[in-house]
Structure 1
Amino acid sequence: MRQKLFSSYDLKGLHLSNRVVMAPMCQYSVKAKDGKPNEWHYVHYLSRAIGGTGLIIMEMTDVDPDGRITDFDLGLWSDEQIPAFARIIDGVHSHNGKIGVQIAHAGRKAEDAAIPVAPSAIPFPGSTYKMPRALTTEEVRNVVQQFAEAARRAVEAGVDTIELHGAHGYLIHQFQSPLTNQRDDIYGQDFARFGVEVIQAVKKAMPADMPLLFRISAVEYADGGYDIDHAIELSKAYHAAGVDAFHVSSGGEGPAGERKPGNYPGYQVPFAREIRAAVNVPVIAVGMLEDPALAESVIGSEDADFVAIARGLLRDPYWATHAAIALRNEPDRIPVQYKRAY
């Protein structure tokens, strides 16, 4: 019997052979100070395509040099960076894989920026973080355009999809949170406005049939942080602006207070289920889902439409193939060179 995890799915014009997503994970490669992916990234991503992953999402890729978490993160702030991304994307496609890129700005969590920027001059807790400078209203509009330009470059590089990073305490998340957005201009009066403008600008740079993904923190764990109800209202606004699927995570805005994040397999799945039901939109569930039976149950129970595997795919580039074997399903794409091993 064909398993749900390895059933195909069409998201707008993107056809995926299975529901396994490689979550974006920064590699912090010391040879990437110019923002360009290098040989490490080439081997890293192509290995997961050969391993049968349905959709690979490249790591957080920043729209500005000072928008990186560290100087070893990737970027798409210059046309000179396009060829290095295109080489990887073409390689993944040559192995019948699908690949997107996560576009972002770290905001106040930019550790190596001389002076980070943020919605408000509120530093992220911790000794490694600097006091950020609040963006002016005009500068906010300029950042929106930076996202659009990065999306254009991603499309030119040949991506199959784009994901916007609105989770884990980075810039879009900072604007959508009352904890970090204490502005008195239009971007403070509506917590969804910055995200909506980014989505609308990015959509204009994308082909009409290319899906736009959005990673969202469903809840915050710091005392006074927002809850799932706020995330649902944000998601409704973002979906109306053009988001086609949500990648549902949580936290990242600061140290946990009274409410603590789970530390067990599937602890974030209920968040994905709630957003899926409330917004009527496809979702990606993530968070310690690397047990194949659990991943299968998430899809089979219709809690989510996709499962994102993070550390499990760091440990095992062939996680998807091995999961298919574990579920007694014949993998669609065992490379002919490896078939005798199965």
Structure 2
Amino acid sequence: MAALTDPVDVGGVAVPNRLYRAPVLECAGTGEGAVDALIDELAPTAASGVGLVFQGASVVTAESGCAAPNMTRVHDPEFVAELERLTGTVHDHGGRIFVQLAQGGLRSLEAWHAGHRERNPEVEQLAVSRPPWQLRLLDRVGLVDLSPRVLSTDEVYDLAEQFGRAAGYAADAGYDGIHLSGANMGIVQQFCSPLYNRRDDEFGTGADEPPGSGGLRFLEAVHDAVREHAGDVPLVTKVPAETAAPSFVRRHLSFEDGVRLATRTAEAGYDAVVPVDVSTFWDMSVIRGKFPERAWSAAELQSGYAAAFGGPVRARAVRLLNRVQARGFDREPGWNADLCRAVRRRVDVPVLCEGGIRERATCERLLGDDASPAAADLVGMARPFYAEPRLGARLLAGEDALCASCNNCTVPQAAGEPGRCRTPSVVRERATLERAGAYERRGGSGDEGTVADEREGE
């Protein structure tokens, strides 16, 4: 059993404790002011004592690939070199920082954001295969606008190479590790998912192979490219099990498929895995919680929603769908725990668990207690850091997060707004805690530990 305040080793990098800020959109962009915006967003988290900070999904291609407005791109070595100011700041606070690399594929802005599509009419979405019929149906009725370009075998290798080059730029800029965005309907999940991947080349899944085999080969190609460009920098990836897929989706990754894929990924040389229960689509399986009534009703955001979804009528349709979905997903804190625990029994690398974690007791339970075996070696939170950028100080001192999973922070991002808490009761409580000095960093961390050392004694 490990405590949240215990140190841990991830791919040779000593992390001072087992709390991490899970990847979440910083909405910093790539232009002037982006580095300062990232420092403003992430430095307070490191200063509060969080051991590992993940910079959210950063796109490896020069065009397409952004799944939401104002995402950061990391294809340009000159821009990434400027991020040394960010990594240096995190290191000055005693933390570690990994960058999450991403490419949205069919989830990219061009498919769903009407305003972006009007400004960029020629941009296509990278596709693993011909889009599944469900997306083609949405395209026919006008809810999305697909312009897919199915990748050739050579282009798949080129894409893996782009991940590798971006990883090399990041390592040169002082990032401690690389995290692949392997779920949430990004391109990596699309390679892994039998719904999206119907290729007949080496990146497809043969008739005699288990689901996800083509995705594993893509992950192996990315691994090799990262090693070529970034050396032995720690490499982590999310690994999906598509158990939250809608009932009308017949082809998806089962729980057992997700466990097998995570196990094979670790065997392929990845230094840690983040198993997640998700859908085949970008829906509220990613951000489970309450329906964000305040965010949808805010008068100042209506024009942004209309621009994103193609008019006020379509924006209201998306709002209705959001309301329905808010009732459809389990909100049990640590909803990925069962999958993580099953994977952890099979691998000898760290397993990271996230998903609705809000209380210190949940963190300790996931790390292992007398009642249940450990599900993870590190535990992460994402949305709570929108509400409390310096949350680490309170969590590491034994307190709980204020976040109520109301999602008023996330929906406005579709309108190009930054992620921040918009729930008045939470904002007031944070202000009260700030005045009381609750976010002053307290305590320290112990000696370095390794996953292998702990499991030997379990």
Distance of aligned partners of 1:248 and 1:129 in 2 relative to their CA distance in 1, 3 Å threshold? farther
Cα 1:261–1:268 shift into 2, 3 Å: farther
Q: Paired residue for 1:219?
A: 242
Residue type at the aligned position of 1:9:
V
Match for 1:332: what amino acid? G
1:13/1:281 Cα in 2 relative to 1: closer, same or farther (>3 Å)? closer
Deviation, structure 1 residue 326? 2.5
In structure 2, the residue matched to 1:340 is: none
TM-superposed CA distance for 1:178, in Å, is: 0.5
Partner of 2:258: 231
Which AA in structure 2 matches 1:331? G
- Against the structure 1 CA distance between its residues 57 and 169, is the aligned structure 2 distance closer, same or farther, given a 3 Å change threshold? same
Match among 77, 80, 102 for residue 78 of structure 2: 80
Find the counterpart in structure 1 of residue 102 from structure 2.
104
Q: Trace 1:315-330 onto structure 2 (pairs within 5 A).
A: 315-326=387-398
Answering whether residue 146 of structure 2 is matched by residue 130 of structure 1, we say yes
Cα distance change on mapping 1:96 and 1:129 into 2, 3 Å: farther
Cα displacement string for residues 55-98 of structure 1 (whole angstroms, at most 9, x for unaligned residues): 00001011103122245111111112123321111111111111
Change (3 A) 1:83 1:277: same
2:413 is matched with none
Report the residue type matching 2:67 in the other structure.
I
The structure number with the bigger radius of gyration is 2
Structure 2 residue 220 is matched with structure 1 residue 196: yes
Opposite residue 268 of structure 1, the aligned amino acid is: N
Match of 1:339 in 2: none
Matches within 5 A, 1:116-195: 116-122=125-131, 125=135, 127-189=143-205, 190-191=213-214, 192-195=216-219
Q: Which runs of 5+ in 1 are unaligned?
A: 334-342
- Residue in structure 1 matched with residue 343 of structure 2 by the alignment: 275
Residue in 2 that maps onto 1:338: none
> Using the alignment, how far apart are the partners of 2:190 and 2:11 within structure 1?
29
Residues 1:308 and 2:387 aligned together: no
Structure 1 residues 144-203: Cα deviation after superposition (integer angstroms, max 9, x where no partner)? 110110110010110111111111111111011110001111111342211111112212
1:204 deviates by: 2.6
Displacement of 1:12 in angstroms is 3.2
Match of 2:314 in 1: none
The residue that corresponds to 2:444 in the other structure is 332
Distance change (3 Å), C-alpha of 1:229 and 1:129? farther
Instruction: Please name the residue that 1:39 is paired with.
Output: 36
Aligned residues: 327
Give the aligned residue type for 1:117: L
The equivalent position to 1:62 in structure 2, one of 53, 59, 62, is: 59
Code of the residue aligned with 2:335 in structure 1: it is Y
Shift of 1:291: 0.7
Within 1, Cα distance between the matches of 2:2 and 2:393? 13
Native 8 Å contact 1:168 1:250 kept in 2: no
Aligned to 2:269: 242
Cα deviation for residue 35 of structure 1 reads: 9.5
SS of match in other structure, 1:278: coil
TM norm structure 2: 0.67
- What SS does structure 1 have at the residue aligned with 2:54? strand
- For the structure 1 residues 262 and 135, does the alpha-carbon distance in structure 2 shift closer, same or farther, using more than 3 Å as the test? same
CA 1:294–1:199: 2 relative to 1, 3 Å: same
Deviates more, 1:226-235 or 1:89-98: 226-235
CA–CA distance in 2 between the matches of 1:75 and 1:26?
12
**Corresponding residue SS for 1:326:** coil
Report the Cα offset of residue 121 of structure 1: 2.1
Quote the sequence identity (%).
27
Name the aligned partner's letter for residue 234 of structure 2: P
Q: CA RMSD in A?
A: 2.5
Q: Is the 8 A contact 2:240 2:253 kept in 1?
A: no
Task: Read off the aligned partner of 2:127 and give its amino acid letter.
Answer: A
Q: Are 1:51 and 2:62 matched, yes or no?
A: no
- The more displaced of 78-87 and 18-27 is 78-87
Summarize the Cα distance change of 1:220–1:168 in structure 2 as closer, same or farther, 3 Å threshold: farther
